[in-house]
Chain A
Amino acid sequence: MIYCCESYLPNSGNPYLCGDSFEPADLIRMLDEAGIDAALTIPAPEAPLPGWPPTNNETLKEAMDLYPSRILGCCHVDLHRGREAVEEFRRAVTAWGFKGLKLSVAPSDTADALARTAADLGTPVTIHTNGSADLYPRIAALAKRYPGLSIVMEHLGYRYHVGLAVEIARQCPNLYLACTVVAPAEPVVVRRVIQAVGVERMLFGSNAPWAIPYYGVAGIQRLGLGREDEELVLSGNFRRIYRMG
């Protein structure tokens, strides 16, 4: 089994036919090519090309209904909507069966309310990491504020702040690292992070359809981690954190 902890469902902009429409079936095709059984999938409200409407949680729910065992919902809400955003997240989890929340750590009462709700619901959150170094203290503060909340750091700080991501993961046992993009780009970095924080903290993410899942899986397999550790990265850790049974 292979589980991906980060895929997206845009309406357009897939790597093969950028600008043409993108359907849930296209995502499934990309997952199939890589042998991925299921992917935690996020709407793409900021990614469409001009002329294409953004996707949202309802779009994603429709895709989940089409592919119930393949596409797992990860809620994305607009922080500007305040209390409504929190309610939409709660509904997505309790009524629609979403498994996760994409969370911003921008200073915001709504972001904090979302984190609190996620902790109450036992729903893991994923946070994008990249670029600026000042992001990491904010993630660590969030993890310490909600020690029962599982937080997955997408991209594990790649490219230039992997050390910071590792440092805060060492401080906070509820922080996990997703090797999204890093697995195909620099697989050796994934190994180094595993050595630093332990294999049970690493999850596989593909970033489909922006990236090519096939190369992500191939990057992990190329590391030669051994059967047990590879299984944890590609499947076991996800199933444990997201309570997949």
Chain B
Amino acid sequence: MRFDFQTFLPRSFDGRPFGPEDLTALEDEAGIERFVVMPETTERPDNAGLAGRIQGRPRMIGCASVNPALGAEAVKGFEEAAHRFGFRGLRLSPLTHGYPIDGEVARPLLERAREMGAPVTTESCSEGCWPSQIARVAGRFPEVTIIADVGFRPLAPPVSLGLAPPPEGRIADVAREHPNVYIGMTALAMAETYLIKRIVGAVSTDKLIFGSNAPSGIPLFSVGGLRRAGLGEQAEGAILGETLRRIYGL
């Protein structure tokens, strides 16, 4: 089963109205059966609006996105999304919302994710969410599964070259050292296919998770890029869906 860890459902995209059918069409084009859907990352992500738009669409798995800067409102929003709407995960955006993921501001949300057994997806490899910061969170919350969206240039290439790590750390090292950290590949898969090979040199393929970032990313390209890495059927199966299926308990 192909399972996408990160898609978004904005109300408009690229200057046009955008709906669940449009997102589904993108995923269909790449043969993706199920996909985690998040609300657009705004100051106050609209989880309730997303719930209404994906209701009755079993291929879509809701994931709550919240802004920890809103304090108790953020925690309440996460709880509501999980209990009332049946959302399965939590999305954090430390760079976009401007906070350190390893700071006190995010702690209440991570504690709630631990209590609820909800996987946490986060931006990574940039300000507020450097690999060293992800490592600190993973160490504090070993029971919380963290999917680090590495985007592009995940501070991973030197892993296989034997070079000293940068001060911010390398996400491949973090994933290797923390059983609860997974590398989520979005922009990476089709844009820098060679890095997949290098990451695989540092971590096992069951720590890699496919994501398209649709509709900004094109799922067809992501799947194509990943398949060109030629990792073999078993590794491909794990990356394209099996590992994520296990994380989400589907």
| Chain A residues near B (Cβ < 8 Å) | 13-16, 18-19, 47, 49-50, 130-131, 133, 155, 158-160, 181-182, 184-189, 191, 207, 209-212, 215, 218-219, 222
Give chain B residues whose Cβ lies under 8 Å from the Cβ of A215.
Answer: 190-191, 221, 224-225
Q: Which of B40-48, B139-147, B192-200 contacts its partner?
A: B192-200
CA distance A59 to B23 in the complex (A): 46
Contact of A15 among B151, B161, B197 (CB under 8 A): B197
The reply to whether the CB of B216 lies closer than 8 angstroms to some CB of chain A is yes
Greatest chain B CB density within 10 A among A47, A130, A155, A215 is at A215
Interface magnitude class on chain B: 20 to 34
Q: Is the CB of A185 within 8 A of B193?
A: no
| Chain B residues near A (Cβ < 8 Å) | 13-14, 95, 126-127, 151-153, 157, 160-162, 186-187, 190-195, 197-198, 213, 215-218, 221, 224-225, 228-230
Q: Is the CB of A189 within 8 A of B126?
A: no
Q: Is the CB of B187 within 8 A of A181?
A: yes
Q: Is the CB of A189 within 8 A of B216?
A: yes
Q: Is the CB of A184 within 8 A of B194?
A: no
Shortest Cβ gap from B168 to chain A (Å): 9
Known contacts A49-B161, A133-B127, A160-B126; decide if A186 and B192 are in contact (CB<8 Å).
Answer: no
A-B contacts at CB below 8 angstroms, number = 91
Contact of A160 among B95, B161, B195 (CB under 8 A): B95
Shortest Cβ gap from A210 to chain B (Å): 5
Give chain B residues whose Cβ lies under 8 Å from the Cβ of A16.
Answer: 228, 230
Give chain A residues whose Cβ lies under 8 Å from the Cβ of B152.
Answer: 130, 155, 158-159, 181, 185
Shortest Cβ gap from A202 to chain B (Å): 16
Q: Is the CB of B191 within 8 A of A207?
A: yes
Q: Is the CB of A14 within 8 A of B221?
A: no
Known contacts A130-B152, A186-B187, A215-B221; decide if A207 and B216 are in contact (CB<8 Å).
Answer: no
**Known contacts A185-B190, A211-B193; 15 further A-B pairs (Cβ under 8 A):** A15-B194, A16-B228, A18-B198, A50-B160, A159-B126, A159-B152, A160-B95, A160-B126, A160-B151, A184-B218, A210-B194, A211-B191, A212-B224, A215-B225, A218-B221
